[in-house]
């Protein structure tokens, strides 16, 4: 087990589902390397707002459906 793992798990409990959600969301193949790289760049350069704007422009109304997080059963 990687020691870094415990740092993630020991975050306040309400934060953990967000990490879970993140992995659940990434099951959608539309979040490919290019998109992830762009989002990372936007976060670094313009913060959350810029990343959100990028996501909105990239996916538009599909984002609502995409962020309708897949149930765990579906992810399995």
Residues that bind other proteins (CB under 8 A): 1-2, 4-11, 13, 15-29, 31-33, 36-37, 39-40, 42-43, 48-49, 51-56, 59-64, 67, 72, 75-76
Closest CA to 74 of 19, 22, 24, 21: 24
Q: At closest approach, how far in Å is the CB of 14 from other proteins?
A: 10
Cα separation, 22 vs 45, in Å, equals 21
Give the Cβ contact number of residue 31 at 10 Å. Answer: 16
Q: At closest approach, how far in Å is the CB of 69 from other proteins?
A: 10
Q: At closest approach, how far in Å is the CB of 68 from other proteins?
A: 9
Cα separation, 42 vs 51, in Å, equals 5
């Amino acid at each position: 087990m990687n020691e870094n793992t415990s740092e993630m798990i020991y975050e306040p409990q309400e934060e953990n589902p967000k990490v879970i959600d993140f992995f659940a969301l990434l099951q959608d193949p539309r979040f490919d390397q290019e998109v992830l790289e762009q989002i990372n760049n936007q976060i670094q350069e313009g913060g959350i707002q810029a990343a959100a704007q990028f996501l909105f422009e990239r996916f538009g109304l599909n984002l609502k459906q995409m962020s309708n997080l897949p149930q765990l059963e579906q992810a399995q």
